Homo-oligomer: A and B are copies of this chain.
Amino acid sequence: MAAPTLRTLARELGLSRTTVSDALCGSHRVKAETAARVRAAAKAAGYERNPLTGAVMSQLRRSRGQQFRGVLAAVEIVEAVHSPLAQRYNDALMSGVMARAGELGFNVERFVVGPQGVRLNRLDTILHTRGIQGLILLPASGFPDLSALSWHRYTAVYADYFIDHPPLHCVCSDHYRSMIALLRELHARGYRRPGLFMEISLSERLQFRWEGAFLALQKYLPEITEVPTLRSRNINFETFAPWFRKHDPDVVIGHFPDAMDWMSACGAKLPSTHGFVCLNRLRTSGNCACVDLQTAQLGARSTELVVGQLLHNELGVPTQPSLTTIPARLIEGPTLRPRGAKPGRGDAKPGKVRAGATSRHSTSEGGEV
């Protein structure tokens, strides 16, 4: 006897194929009693749905007609005040989200949760009544808890490193790899005493990824003089200057562009005697070399993930959350000497990558930082 199909099964049961399909997918549109009956019959008949056909049919049915496919929610969780930087970061993310969502046929609506916006259970209601199923959660300070939402109705991505309530897929910049690539590039330009300053709160938030990569590569790059990291709760001229004067790094890496002034005040000339790289482009005003975290790309990829799951009807919390990362890019600026230029001081040799295993890495990842 031939393998049973949806239609065969439906005829046997005296139901329509749709009802059978819905019943087997656990749709709420079917009466529980009927669904049970269908499942029993399917099991008895040895029916197995063809998942590939199902996927093809699904996208077929959806793509029919006009372009508009639905609405995504961009959810911002604001506990207290929102720093201007966080706001700029979220705006950059959103530009990527909107662009890709538009390409994929979705509209995006922004919601703010917290004291200044709606409460969580109110959001749940709004999303439900509006029929919104796809959520993009913008980075929140601390450890946001969204477990109160009815997750069986939504599919979501958190645009930051980690969320545990509930454990969702995350999308974030690849800080670790970016630091590795940055140091390799600086090394190739002849810098031999890279120094890193870092506020402890920032470092903790990223699980020390900037610093971990920095510490590891200090050990592995050839001819490096290890400059200890300046680690502090509060980085300002008073904490920076003694560290800079004592260890005299030939290139300084850190989050605050103010460091350029501090370096100058200590007698450094940029870029002739010393270099500087800011770790976040959004903090700069375009007057120094910096790392572009590719924020818009992150937003775009987040959107792709959510839409992909939406189109396959994958709602709820994922069984195994994953983290998707995108490498950052080095933006050139007047605070770094280019490749091949002569170092400004005697203790470093002209920038040429040494042969060996590391140089192969350097070649393969040279374009990005």
Chain A residues in the interface with B (C-beta under 8 A): 2-3, 5, 48, 50-56, 59-60, 63-70, 103-106, 143, 162, 164, 174, 176-177, 180, 201, 203-204, 207-209, 211-213, 215-217, 219-220, 229, 231, 294, 297, 300-301, 308, 311-312, 320, 322-327, 357-358, 360-361, 364-365
Contacts and interface: CB of A to CB of B under 8 A. Distances in A.
B51 A68 contact: no
10 contacts: A2-B65, A52-B52, A52-B69, A52-B70, A59-B311, A143-B364, A162-B364, A204-B358, A300-B320, A323-B327
Nearest to A60: B53
B66 A2 contact: yes
Query: Copies per complex?
Result: 2
Contact of A212 (B50, B213, B312, B364): B213
Contacts of A294: 320
A101 B217 CA distance: 39
Contact of A67 (B48, B67, B207, B360): B48
B207 A211 contact: no
A295 B92 CA distance: 35
A5 B66 CA distance: 9
Contacts of A312: 59, 308, 311
A92 to B, nearest CB: 15
A66 B213 contact: no
Contacts of A176: 176, 207, 209, 212
Contacts of A54: 105
A320 B304 CA distance: 12
Contacts of A216: 208-209, 211-212, 215
